[in-house]
Structure 1
Amino acid sequence: MRYLFLFIFCFLSGTRLYSQKINSAYKLHISETKLPIVIDGFIDEEAWNVRDSAANFFMVSPMDTSYAKVKTTVRMTYDQHNLYISAICYEPKPNTNYAVESLRRDFSYTKNDNFLLIVDPFDDQTNGFTFGVNAAGAQWDGLIFNSNGYDLSWDNKWYSEVKHYADRWVFEAAIPFKSIRYKKGIQNWGINFARLDIKAPEKSAWAKIPRQFNVASLAYTGNLIWDNPPPEAGTNISVIPYVLGGFTKDYENNTRTKFKRDIGADAKIGITSSLNLDLTVNPDFSQIEVDKQVTNLDRFELFFPERRQFFLENADLFANFGYSTIRPFFSRRIGLGVPIEFGARLSGSLNKKWRIGAMDMQTKSIDETGLPAQNFAVLALQRRVFSRSNVRFMFVNKQSLNYDPAMHPGKPVHNAFNRNIGLEYNLASTNNLWTGKSMFVKSFGPVKNSDDLVHAANLQYSSKKWLLSWQHEYVGENYTAEVGYVPRINYIKLNPKLSYQFFPKGGNILSHGPIISSTLYFNKSFSQTDNETSFNYKFTHRNQSTFEVWTSDNFIRLLRPFDPVNTGKGSLSTGSEHLWNTWGANYFSKPQKLYTYSFSGHYGGYFADGTRLNLSADLGYRFQPYVNIAMSTSYNHIVLPQPWGTTNLWLVGPRTDVTFSNKLFFTTFIQYNNQQKNLNVNTRLQWRYKPASDLFLVFTDNYYPSPFAIRNRALVLKFTYWWN
């Protein structure tokens, strides 16, 4: 099977080896201007009288067989410092109110009228940038990786304004060359522009994109042709210092109030226009929004995404090696409950074929727990092969420094080191219909072990109507990744999936079709330990609302004791077998209304011949464009034999976003979780007084819900300044 899979990989890649870029006929010429441009949204400067523009957008959805009904015109120019873009977004019905959530940065794409720029400076159809705004002027920026994925956690310095008229809204922006990464001398960039008008509703793009792919797909970019090579960014050094003050108080243990005063800095140094060195000294991430809680009924560790800005640029080089549950490197392992002293991170492109990522981080020791100072080193190399595929190498090393367990009697023992070395091949056909991956990883530790290997591979075909996917994984019994996210070891996994979509010629239904998926786990003797097989049927309406019904069959043989409600009442025994069926339904309302909602629910069996009812709802209302109110609720009613009996688990999370402007934001996020017996309140005020420079005031409270009592409290004031 393994050799057959590798043969298919090579065959598919080889068939596209000499394929021409799909949208190479789409060309936009850009010329330098010597005239000034003021970013005010009026685009009345003479510099905008350019000879070429992008118009005649194609519809992406609801169908992709005609030109867009909503008209858009885009122009671009540049000078020695900035790349300029303007877009006139015409409204199909004059004096129609636009639809947006708020002025919050990095808004939800599907819930806002918006315009996006997608740029691929290397024209490698793999990695790039996206910039854009919603119709109220809120900014959106992010990194594009693996052609289709994007990460909006990345923020950088750029300038934009939006103006409104009866029949159109106008976007104007300046993007400094220092804010993007590109290679000197390349005069042909990949480019695309996308427009979403959820009132129409219509999604469109300048260079044509099949509807099954998102608009950030770099496989379908056109060409931005420069009159001269883009100017070098020049000396590109940014220093981002911070100062903060605050206090924490642990009421639960009745400790003294701790006052905190701190200072630190990040620095960004452009080694070349496409290669960046990030440095950090005594970093602090107190302004990062708290993780969204979940009701934990899982047998394995839960995953929470990285939010810290230092780790985000070119994060795909590090974080996307492997699969969602096989990650040799996961940056949240660094600084987990321990301060980071300093770190360095080199990442970017060496040329059109080679990318590099190197990281070294140092954490402090903690005498109370016997945790030694540790060093984390990561090296990632990526080599482009064929038209859009690549080969990756990764090395991860975690090293305890000056550590002797005998010096910390009675405290946890830590490994002297843990290392991972891996090789990965990523397949992406020219038209993006075929994608896949094959990887091999080996771990090393102070004690030599056998069966410390990982192999996994997948192959997926995605056409307008068909989706066929196969994935298999093998994780050895002694494989360890202390700087990774691998919640489960010692298994073999098979995961086939098949779906089909029908497209009616008329009526309210845009598409509908079945989805069949199965996930099977085996031990090394190929005895089955888990199996979940599901059948879904999904309806997508022309107004963008969706409805889905599903049923699943589940089997689990427990490999270790497990508490099915995770509240400490008791555990099911190792080796016990559990079999049940479940059915459920999901509904998501159309996003263009001020009031939006979604409901999901399922009912069926559970562990120990019990039953489980789950009901979830998300409600939202927006007072455009300044206030967005949302409420997320999840309820689980679980009936089991004694000692568990009947358990009711609630997770309630109201949230209010007030955006006074696109520079001043106030957020209050409350989470009530009776499984954890905690009520969390997180309030954050952010003033972006200059691009990428902020003042934060963050207040966090945790309470016992019953009897109501405060557990701990923290208040932090943090000031950051981006200095070039």
Structure 2
Amino acid sequence: MIKKLPNFLFFITSFSFAQDAEIFKPDSVKKKIEATPITTNLRIDGVMNDAEWKLAKPVSNFIQIEPYQGKQPSHKTEVRVLYNKNYLYFAIFAGDSLGKKAIRATDFKRDFSFRQHDLVALSFDGFNDKRNAMALVTNPYGVQRDFLSFDDIYYDIDWDGLWRVRTTRTDSGWVAEMAVPWQTLRYPKTDSPTQNWGFNVFRNRRLTNEQTAFSPYPRSFTNTRMAYAGVLTNLQPPPPSTNVRIQPYFLTTFDRYRNYDNKPNTNTYKLGGEIKWAINPNAILDITANTDFAQADADRQVNNVTRFSVFFPERRQFFLENASLFGVGVGPNEDLSGGTMRVQPFFSRRIGLDDSGNPIPIDVGARFVYRSLKRNYGAIAMRQREVGDSPGTNFFVGRYSENFGKQNRIGGLVTVKNRPDGTNMTGTIDGFFRLSESHSLNTMAVYSTSTNSGKSGFSGFAQYYYSTNQFKFWWTQSVVTKDFNPEMGFVSRSDVVGTTPGIFFFNRGKWIPFKKFIRAFEPGIMTEFYHQASTGKLVERQLNINPIWLNFQRGGYFGYLINPTFQRLTEPFVPLGVYIDNGEYNYVRHQIYASTNPSAVISLNSSFEWGTYFNGRLNSHDIRMQIAPVPHISILARYNRNHFRNVGNLAHEANGESYVDLYSVEGRFALNPRVQLIGFYQKNAENLSQNYNIRLSWEYRPLSYIYVVYNHREFDNLLDKPTQIENHVIAKISYLKQF
């Protein structure tokens, strides 16, 4: 079932599985791909016409994962592997009877959406620990996607490796050639000159949503569940050596302000950069000075009508790398299983950003990470500059976890935020236990204390999952006390005890009608109960009943939900400017979610909600349309409206209505995957703001960039004051060199 559709390669398209497909155990006899040594360097152009490729031993015996687990693929995929002293080379031929006509790709965005592209993916387990994986992914246009995976649960999606790929498209399919420097890969130093690594290759033919893999695994898992991987044999990599990657930058900014008090226009110049030192295959040290995040994608505004705080994801590259080691916590999964409650003792957006998302300069910082089969540990230390009313602040995060068994771990995390007016600290103990292929348990307990207020608080959770090819069941129990205050973390609401069990059913029986169009029927129930921790009283109850959810063969879906809800407001609630007083409220809401094929030239994604809301009614709709006539051009338009009628204070006004609209347009125009113009515009009626951001990006050599950014922000919700306007122009050049 998909409620919020995943944008990651490693999530299966629909989480819906055939009734006769079981969760099988890894095969004791592993499938093998043999790498062939060469002495020359290959030209990476996606043509595969170098004579050396004839020396490689092709492998093409892939197995279908989706839609028919274990069956033979409908189209051939062939893999060849070569290597020399500098690079590990891959050539993948993705055969297709329709040739270029079958190819689907909607944009040239790095870390592109899995649901919108044809792709092939390589996953490596250089240490053969069956827990850690490095994944390198490309689409038919040579766009890159890469990430790190740990236990097929925790992911560093925004990790960017240094590797090269080129592709060509033909009438018989498409070809990808990859050159991966040995320095990018992670593997042990051994006495034997030859190594064998855990390895898998995954392909998605997007036209028919057929997914295949070299080494098969149950479709409720992903290609980074390395216990199911095959073996890449006959490798003779150079001994891993200490390597250093430096990335200095130069930046200039022009800042202009209108209708601000005591905020002058400025022109500034900055020098800074980062150093990444791979001390050994297990340990990496990152150092940053005068840190800049000009290239980071800007936040999109969200109109929130729930009692939960909005969680804005981290978008800054320095904090995204190795985020999974420090990112312990609980939150909703991409398919909305697990419950709405989110608690993270460490949230990197608390560093270098104020509560409104405005940047605060970072003078210097460092991150050290060590990962091995037995244990993982790391630390982050940052110094945030004093600016205006914001004093200079020191941040520290320490993390340790011990692995045991096949995929179990226990660990701890400490955060310290120190300012002149006091110190906030948290201490966390957490654990993850994979009880079997289908059973898992995730737990955490956090204590917080603040010296300036003298208050302390507690938070904890336990989350159990049971997932098979037929259904998915979970139970999440969480608690957050009233005085729990992790100033370096995130909590969606406090003074609450949450109980959120639920179940999804996955049906693909022959009884489902219109099998040519419908792939799966996936009803479910998601329940949420929240009691006030300080009094024990029930403050919210939601019964999210999902009697209809259809996943279509081409990737679209249709679902209907009904949500009987109880709310006890212990203090006033003000969603989008509508004042709702204390009291008890019972209401029922209805929801429809629908999407067409997201890989089509024109695709629609929409949600409609209607029904009672507290003491009145609320009708909401969110419509998104993407137009991508060619991958070089992609335009996404969105319209969101919330229409309140007789809700809260509106019940005493003449017309009793309020409309809050949010419009946005995003565009991506690319010459190729390395030269792109990206922009977006948003207008929000809730705070009468208009914001737009335009960014020209040129990757003139691997992971070295030139950026020109224009950012406009305005606010018009201040009484008796003219509209406040900010304009920022930023030009930045960075250069990456690996030694």
Equivalent residue, structure 2, for 1:250: 257
2: distance between equivalents of 1:311 and 1:94? 41
2: distance between equivalents of 1:135 and 1:641? 51
Equivalent residue, structure 2, for 1:13: none
**SS of corresponding position for 1:643:** helix
**SS of corresponding position for 1:332:** helix
The 8 Å contact of residues 269 and 277 in structure 1, kept in 2 or not, is answered as yes
The 8 Å contact of residues 265 and 280 in structure 1, kept in 2 or not, is answered as yes
Deviation at 1:277, TM superposition (A): 0.4
Query: Is the counterpart of residue 326 in structure 1 residue 347 in structure 2?
Result: no
Equivalent residue, structure 2, for 1:344: 366
Deviation at 1:103, TM superposition (A): 2.2
Q: Which amino acid aligns with 1:527?
A: K
Equivalent residue, structure 2, for 1:621: 627
Equivalent residue, structure 1, for 2:135: 130
Deviation at 1:231, TM superposition (A): 2.1
Deviation at 1:588, TM superposition (A): 1.0
The 8 Å contact of residues 580 and 649 in structure 2, kept in 1 or not, is answered as no
The 8 Å contact of residues 617 and 647 in structure 2, kept in 1 or not, is answered as no
Flag the 1:68–1:664 CA change in 2: closer, same or farther, 3 A. Answer: same
Flag the 1:227–1:488 CA change in 2: closer, same or farther, 3 A. Answer: same
Structure-to-structure mapping, 1:81-230, within 5 angstroms: 81-185=86-190, 187-228=195-236, 230=237
2:430 to 405, 418, 424: 424
Greater shift in the superposed pair: 388-397 or 292-301 = 292-301
2:301 to 287, 293, 304: 293
The 8 Å contact of residues 686 and 695 in structure 1, kept in 2 or not, is answered as yes
The 8 Å contact of residues 258 and 726 in structure 2, kept in 1 or not, is answered as yes
1: distance between equivalents of 2:587 and 2:299? 32
Deviation per CA, 1:262-286: give whole Å up to 9, x if none: 1111110111123110000010112
Flag the 1:323–1:393 CA change in 2: closer, same or farther, 3 A. Answer: farther
**SS of corresponding position for 1:282:** strand
Equivalent residue, structure 1, for 2:8: none
Equivalent residue, structure 2, for 1:578: 585
Deviation at 1:465, TM superposition (A): 1.0
**SS of corresponding position for 1:231:** coil
Q: TM-score normalized by structure 2?
A: 0.88
Flag the 1:50–1:495 CA change in 2: closer, same or farther, 3 A. Answer: farther
Deviation at 1:124, TM superposition (A): 3.0
Flag the 1:333–1:94 CA change in 2: closer, same or farther, 3 A. Answer: closer
Structure-to-structure mapping, 1:451-470, within 5 angstroms: 452-470=457-475
Greater shift in the superposed pair: 327-336 or 30-39 = 30-39
Flag the 1:451–1:377 CA change in 2: closer, same or farther, 3 A. Answer: closer
Flag the 1:708–1:39 CA change in 2: closer, same or farther, 3 A. Answer: farther
Q: Which amino acid aligns with 2:398?
A: L
Q: Which amino acid aligns with 2:596?
A: S
2: distance between equivalents of 1:374 and 1:182? 38
Flag the 1:448–1:586 CA change in 2: closer, same or farther, 3 A. Answer: closer
Flag the 1:124–1:561 CA change in 2: closer, same or farther, 3 A. Answer: farther
CA RMSD between the two structures: 2.3
1: distance between equivalents of 2:30 and 2:322? 29
Q: TM-score normalized by structure 1?
A: 0.90
Flag the 1:379–1:709 CA change in 2: closer, same or farther, 3 A. Answer: closer
Deviation at 1:97, TM superposition (A): 4.8
The 8 Å contact of residues 141 and 166 in structure 2, kept in 1 or not, is answered as no
Equivalent residue, structure 2, for 1:639: 645
Deviation at 1:169, TM superposition (A): 0.9
Deviation at 1:320, TM superposition (A): 3.0
2: distance between equivalents of 1:328 and 1:377? 12
Flag the 1:599–1:571 CA change in 2: closer, same or farther, 3 A. Answer: closer
The 8 Å contact of residues 118 and 139 in structure 2, kept in 1 or not, is answered as yes
Flag the 1:526–1:193 CA change in 2: closer, same or farther, 3 A. Answer: same
Flag the 1:40–1:429 CA change in 2: closer, same or farther, 3 A. Answer: farther
Deviation per CA, 1:57-77: give whole Å up to 9, x if none: 222222213111121011223
The 8 Å contact of residues 431 and 444 in structure 2, kept in 1 or not, is answered as yes
Equivalent residue, structure 1, for 2:77: 72
The 8 Å contact of residues 102 and 136 in structure 1, kept in 2 or not, is answered as no
The 8 Å contact of residues 572 and 579 in structure 2, kept in 1 or not, is answered as no
Query: Is the counterpart of residue 355 in structure 1 residue 391 in structure 2?
Result: no
The 8 Å contact of residues 449 and 478 in structure 1, kept in 2 or not, is answered as no
2: distance between equivalents of 1:446 and 1:133? 50
**SS of corresponding position for 2:183:** helix
**SS of corresponding position for 1:452:** strand
Flag the 1:20–1:571 CA change in 2: closer, same or farther, 3 A. Answer: closer
2:314 to 279, 295, 306: 306
The 8 Å contact of residues 100 and 169 in structure 2, kept in 1 or not, is answered as no
Q: Which amino acid aligns with 2:624?
A: D
The 8 Å contact of residues 148 and 159 in structure 2, kept in 1 or not, is answered as yes
The 8 Å contact of residues 121 and 138 in structure 2, kept in 1 or not, is answered as yes
Flag the 1:451–1:361 CA change in 2: closer, same or farther, 3 A. Answer: closer
1: distance between equivalents of 2:275 and 2:42? 29
1: distance between equivalents of 2:707 and 2:361? 20
Q: Which amino acid aligns with 1:361?
A: M
- Percent identity for Structure 1 against Structure 2: 25
Deviation at 1:202, TM superposition (A): 1.2
Between the two proteins, the alignment pairs up a number of residues equal to 683
2: distance between equivalents of 1:362 and 1:168? 52
The 8 Å contact of residues 580 and 648 in structure 2, kept in 1 or not, is answered as no
1: distance between equivalents of 2:566 and 2:708? 48
The 8 Å contact of residues 636 and 648 in structure 1, kept in 2 or not, is answered as yes
Equivalent residue, structure 1, for 2:711: 700
The 8 Å contact of residues 125 and 218 in structure 1, kept in 2 or not, is answered as yes
**SS of corresponding position for 1:179:** coil
Flag the 1:348–1:175 CA change in 2: closer, same or farther, 3 A. Answer: farther
Equivalent residue, structure 2, for 1:600: 607
Greater shift in the superposed pair: 439-448 or 576-585 = 439-448
Greater shift in the superposed pair: 439-448 or 68-77 = 439-448
Deviation per CA, 1:15-50: give whole Å up to 9, x if none: xxxx98557522223343323222111223343345
Deviation per CA, 1:161-189: give whole Å up to 9, x if none: 10122102110011112223333239343
Q: Which amino acid aligns with 1:347?
A: V
1:515 to 514, 518, 524: 524
The 8 Å contact of residues 554 and 597 in structure 2, kept in 1 or not, is answered as yes
Deviation at 1:704, TM superposition (A): 5.5
The 8 Å contact of residues 23 and 221 in structure 1, kept in 2 or not, is answered as no
Flag the 1:286–1:20 CA change in 2: closer, same or farther, 3 A. Answer: same
2: distance between equivalents of 1:683 and 1:440? 43
2:248 to 225, 241, 266: 241
Flag the 1:193–1:641 CA change in 2: closer, same or farther, 3 A. Answer: closer
Equivalent residue, structure 2, for 1:10: none
- Name stretches of at least 5 consecutive residues in structure 2 with no aligned partner: 1-23, 333-341, 355-359, 651-655
1:379 to 383, 388, 398: 398
Deviation per CA, 1:692-716: give whole Å up to 9, x if none: 0000000011245899967111100
Deviation per CA, 1:408-448: give whole Å up to 9, x if none: xxxxxx4x1111111111123563x2222011222233279
Equivalent residue, structure 1, for 2:549: 538
1: distance between equivalents of 2:59 and 2:433? 31
Equivalent residue, structure 2, for 1:411: none
Flag the 1:636–1:437 CA change in 2: closer, same or farther, 3 A. Answer: same
2: distance between equivalents of 1:153 and 1:43? 29
Flag the 1:481–1:226 CA change in 2: closer, same or farther, 3 A. Answer: farther
Deviation per CA, 1:369-426: give whole Å up to 9, x if none: 1x332211111112211111222221111122xx2xxxxxxxxxx4x11111111111
Equivalent residue, structure 1, for 2:598: 591
Flag the 1:610–1:115 CA change in 2: closer, same or farther, 3 A. Answer: same
Equivalent residue, structure 1, for 2:414: 395
2: distance between equivalents of 1:298 and 1:251? 34
2: distance between equivalents of 1:120 and 1:435? 22
Flag the 1:181–1:673 CA change in 2: closer, same or farther, 3 A. Answer: farther
**SS of corresponding position for 2:522:** strand
Deviation at 1:571, TM superposition (A): 4.7
**SS of corresponding position for 1:99:** coil
2: distance between equivalents of 1:171 and 1:620? 27
Equivalent residue, structure 2, for 1:408: none
2: distance between equivalents of 1:546 and 1:365? 50
